[in-house]
Chain A
């Protein structure tokens, strides 16, 4: 098997995540799709690390994980706050600034 297949899998998962961000209305599901995209990028980084025979790709994936953890904490806090003020987690309902 060609290890390029891992890259194809990463591309597929990234596509699914991106489509989810565009298609879904629930803010939490949108956020989960962002996590899926980050994970797909991590898989690509790990595969590149193996292809090139050094560990820098894995270090990058490690940093992506750390930043994703920080992002999840702040993002979920924002979702909880929006839910408290408008009683809805739908991204369509937060349209106060729309003309």
Chain B
């Protein structure tokens, strides 16, 4: 700590600090550019978190030890996690659209940003910041102690007001995100009656096709004629287009299995290996392997 204090206290920066700056500053700018340019909001958030950690290192190098630690705890620990939680709520894949609502707004905005940057850098270049005191005296009794003595004497009113502000913010956030339920929850009986009245699908939906070779719920179940049924897959997966196809190979395997079973049991083999609803004629076909095996099982 004492070496660090003297390091930040010198009137000109040391070589070590220069090396640190020239390594970390380009990385920080890269992080800022990533926040600005990456299309996915999650990638932007990660870039911003990296930039904030680098800024914490700059604070430490500048003798602001308390702020450096607070930066990591508050910004990368709390604020960025809050951002990530909201991204999770709003949808991780929410990418920007390239559609422009105002014609030429993008180029105008880029020009404005460039102008602002030039103005700021020229302003800093013009300002005479020749003399440079360093924090040796101010940090003499310790950085945290110095901050505390200022915070609880000269800035005590502002400190109290920020406390009130934080309380109001917490209240406001809970109030904003709270949702009052305007209608009563439907009871189970009411739901059942509604279902009967609509008459679309009375029993539960059919199960997905968890045949012997797959146990994924994204494989549709097969109808008796061999065609996959979309109804058997969860509507969320259907909406995302993540329904997996049933391979022709799997269907052929199934037909072969049926044939072998019927041969083993000495029954006439099913009409043929063609699975896709050509000759089998659905569940009514008397020689249908799967159905008759089930019936045999039931008899035993």
Contact = CB atoms under 8 A, between A and B. Distances in A.
A29 B120 contact: no
Contact of A28 (B87, B151, B158): B87
**How many A residues are at the interface, by size bracket?**
35 or more
B237 interface: no
Interface string B95-139: 111010100001001101110110011001000010011111111
A35 B78 CA distance: 13
Interface residues of B, number: 85
Contacts of B133: 50-53
Interface in B54-69: 55, 58-59, 62-64, 66-67
Contacts of A65: 67, 70-71, 74-75
Contacts of B22: 1
Given A19-B109, A29-B96, A69-B79, A51 B32 contact: no
Interface string A58-72: 110111011111111
Interchain residue pairs A-B with the least CB separation, the first 4: A19-B113, A53-B133, A22-B109, A15-B117
Interface of A: 1-9, 11-20, 22-26, 28-29, 31-33, 35-36, 39, 42-43, 46-47, 49-56, 58-59, 61-63, 65-74, 76-81, 83-84, 89-90, 92, 95
